[in-house]
């Protein structure tokens, strides 16, 4: 663990320098009360009486996301401060690109915000064996833990300490620009044959147009999706890589095929677009990249970006079907993000009150809605269903993911040594593979050895 933390700190420092809703997973094993919203609301009210005093208190909260999430969270924080006037909350937020690298070092040093939105892998990667984050089991009188699936809470324990509260469950699926496909006279892909046919049609139409765009991390997820579809097994099982070098090579060969058949642009082409992310890429916004594989929680920002096009207004956005590549239903789900509280906070109860407000309090739930995806909290599900609020496309996308995807993405898939941009293993391998600096055989060995080393540490 010490070796791993040293590596993480080095990576972070280098980067710093240079339908009807269903709760998170269908099975609720926690015997939550039937009137979950009212129970949670009374617990939130009770938390106020448990704060240290009525004296002024300052705490900080940090998160990443898009503009809609920023606006909703700011509004929720304002509502929290109105409800508890003695607590002042300072907000810190930004886009995902580079966010983990910036935050990881501050978490390990204890300089991070009091309340932190964290990725699922951050629970273990940056907890220092359970020392970085507050044990939230000790604040179950403030945070209503009965609203969350027991298995998801258990997954967030390190050495018996509850490090974080799951916010939502997520997975990736396909989004398409139907307008571009219609203009080219091509059907939206549903399997390998139609995907390759789309590549040929797009190339014949205009060499700058592609049916699908995937960055390095996207390619890692897509490759695993492809292999899951072919072999019907999880990528990581019991902390061990569950695929051979030969199977990984097969996945990389397929990625090479997609690029050579004009299905996806090269990494050099995408980097040359000079955009922080694909949803902000002018080629997506203006219809030249006609497909993305994105998180279900990201549907609103992807759709909004397309609809904001000045050069090509009125484009039709659609959620696609999962692509068929074999006899199995590929695709994985994971806890998309959590809220944690730093262990060194001077105001643990007030920080816990804020977490409970955002996840379980009816007012906070209504404001945050589905901006972090479809919630895990049963209280939140009840409020959103009763009031018929939340982004309908986010609900639709999440329902598709939970219905189709049969595999679970291990938190270590997002280990910073693998995912960090630009120094993570995914970025190095898929970047070099796209540039033809390595063969698929060399890439498979590098991925196999590198992922195995990360999982063994």
Check pLDDT > 60 for residue 141.
yes
Q: Compute CA distances 21 → 38, 296, 375, 402, whole Å.
A: 19, 13, 9, 11
Those residues with Cβ within 8 angstroms of residue 39's Cβ, 6 or more apart along the chain or in another chain: 33, 144, 146, 379
Fold agreement (2-12+20-170+335-404, 172-332+407-456)? yes
Question: Closest by alpha carbon to 245, among 450, 457, 455?
Answer: 450
Average pLDDT over residues 139-145: 98
pLDDT recorded at residue 182: 98
Average pLDDT over residues 11-19: 44
Average pLDDT over residues 308-324: 97
pLDDT recorded at residue 97: 83
pLDDT in tens, 47-59: 444 444 578 999 9
Omega of the bond leading into 267 within 30 degrees of 0 (cis): no
Helix, strand or coil for residue 441?
helix
pLDDT in tens, 258-289: 999 999 999 999 999 999 999 999 999 999 99
pLDDT above 90 covers a percentage of the chain that reads 85
Average pLDDT over residues 194-202: 98
pLDDT in tens, 201-245: 999 999 999 999 999 999 999 999 999 999 999 999 999 999 999
Those residues with Cβ within 8 angstroms of residue 101's Cβ, 6 or more apart along the chain or in another chain: 11, 12, 14, 15, 16, 416, 420, 421
Tell which wins on pLDDT, 44 or 180: 180
Q: Domain 172-332+407-456: which topology? A: D-Maltodextrin-Binding Protein; domain 2 (3.40.190)
CB 353 within 8 A of CB 87: yes
Average pLDDT over residues 319-324: 97
Residue ranges covered by each domain of the chain:
2-12+20-170+335-404, 172-332+407-456
C-alpha span between 301 and 60 (Å, rounded): 26
pLDDT recorded at residue 25: 58
Q: Compute CA distances 383 → 77, 91, 143, 145, 415, whole Å.
A: 18, 25, 17, 17, 34
Lowest mean pLDDT among 12-26, 260-274, 373-387: 12-26
pLDDT recorded at residue 41: 54
Helix (H) or strand (E) holding 94: strand 87-94
pLDDT band at 354 (very low <50, low <70, confident <90, very high): very high
C-alpha span between 86 and 385 (Å, rounded): 32
Strands (DSSP E) along 210-322, which ranges?
236-237, 240-241, 291-295, 317-319
Check pLDDT > 90 for residue 36.
no
Q: How many other C-beta atoms are found inside a 10 Å radius of the C-beta of residue 26?
A: 10
pLDDT recorded at residue 157: 96
pLDDT band at 98 (very low <50, low <70, confident <90, very high): confident
Average pLDDT of the chain to the nearest whole number = 91
pLDDT recorded at residue 54: 79
Task: Classify strands 57-64 and 115-118 as parallel, antiparallel or unpaired.
Answer: parallel
Average pLDDT over residues 98-127: 94
pTM: 0.84
C-alpha span between 362 and 44 (Å, rounded): 10
Check pLDDT > 50 for residue 310.
yes
Average pLDDT over residues 428-439: 98
Show the tokens assigned to 400.
């598709």
Average pLDDT over residues 312-330: 97
- CATH superfamily of domain region 2-12+20-170+335-404: Periplasmic binding protein-like II (3.40.190.10)
Check pLDDT > 70 for residue 19.
no
C-alpha span between 199 and 260 (Å, rounded): 9
**What are the backbone angles phi and psi of residue 185, rounded to the nearest 5°?**
80, 40
DSSP string of 361-407? Answer: SHHHHHHHTTBTBSBS-HHHHHHHHHHT-S-HHHHHHHHHHHHH--E
Tell which wins on pLDDT, 98 or 213: 213
Check pLDDT > 90 for residue 440.
yes
């Amino acid at each position: 663990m010490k070796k791993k933390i040293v590596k993480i700190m080095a990576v972070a420092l280098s980067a710093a320098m240079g339908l009807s809703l269903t709760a998170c997973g269908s099975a609720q094993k926690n015997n939550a009360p039937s009137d979950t919203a009212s129970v949670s609301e009374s617990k939130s009210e009770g938390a106020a009486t448990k704060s240290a005093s009525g004296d002024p208190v300052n705490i900080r909260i940090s998160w990443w996301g898009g503009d809609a999430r920023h606006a909703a969270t700011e509004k929720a924080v304002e509502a929290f401060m109105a409800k508890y006037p003695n607590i002042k909350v300072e907000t810190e937020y930004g886009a995902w690109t580079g966010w983990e690298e910036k935050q990881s070092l501050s978490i390990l040093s204890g300089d991070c915000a009091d309340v932190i939105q964290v990725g699922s892998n951050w629970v273990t990667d940056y907890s220092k064996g359970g020392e970085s984050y507050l044990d939230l089991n000790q604040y179950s009188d403030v945070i209503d833990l009965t609203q969350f699936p027991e298995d998801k809470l258990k997954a967030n324990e390190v050495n018996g300490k509850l490090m974080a509260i799951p916010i939502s469950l997520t997975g990736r699926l396909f989004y398409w620009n139907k307008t571009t496909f219609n203009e080219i006279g091509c059907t939206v892909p549903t399997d390998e044959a139609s995907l390759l046919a789309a590549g040929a049609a797009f190339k014949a139409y205009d060499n700058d147009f592609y049916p699908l765009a995937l960055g390095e991390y996207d390619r890692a997820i897509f490759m695993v999706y492809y292999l899951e579809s072919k072999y019907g097994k999880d990528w990581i099982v019991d902390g061990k890589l569950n695929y051979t070098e030969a199977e990984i090579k097969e996945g990389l060969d397929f990625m090479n095929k997609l690029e050579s058949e004009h299905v996806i642009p090269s990494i050099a082409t995408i980097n040359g677009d000079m955009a922080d992310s694909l949803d902000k890429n002018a080629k997506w916004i203006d219809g030249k990249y006609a497909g993305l594989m994105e998180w279900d929680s990201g549907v609103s920002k992807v759709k909004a970006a397309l609809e904001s096009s000045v050069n090509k207004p009125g484009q039709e956005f659609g959620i696609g079907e999962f692509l068929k590549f074999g006899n199995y239903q590929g695709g994985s789900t994971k806890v998309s993000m959590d809220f944690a509280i730093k262990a060194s906070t001077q105001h643990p109860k007030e920080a816990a009150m804020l977490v409970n407000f955002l996840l379980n309090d009816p007012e906070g739930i209504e404001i945050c809605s589905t901006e972090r995806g479809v919630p895990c909290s049963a209280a939140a599900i009840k409020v959103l269903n009763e009031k018929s609020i939340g982004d309908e496309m986010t609900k639709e996308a999440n329902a598709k993911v939970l219905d189709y995807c049969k595999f679970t993405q291990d938190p270590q898939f997002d280990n910073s040594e693998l995912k960090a941009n630009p120094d993570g293993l995914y970025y190095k391998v898929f970047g070099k593979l796209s540039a033809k600096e390595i063969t698929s055989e060399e890439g498979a060995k590098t991925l196999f050895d590198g992922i195995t080393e990360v999982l063994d540490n």
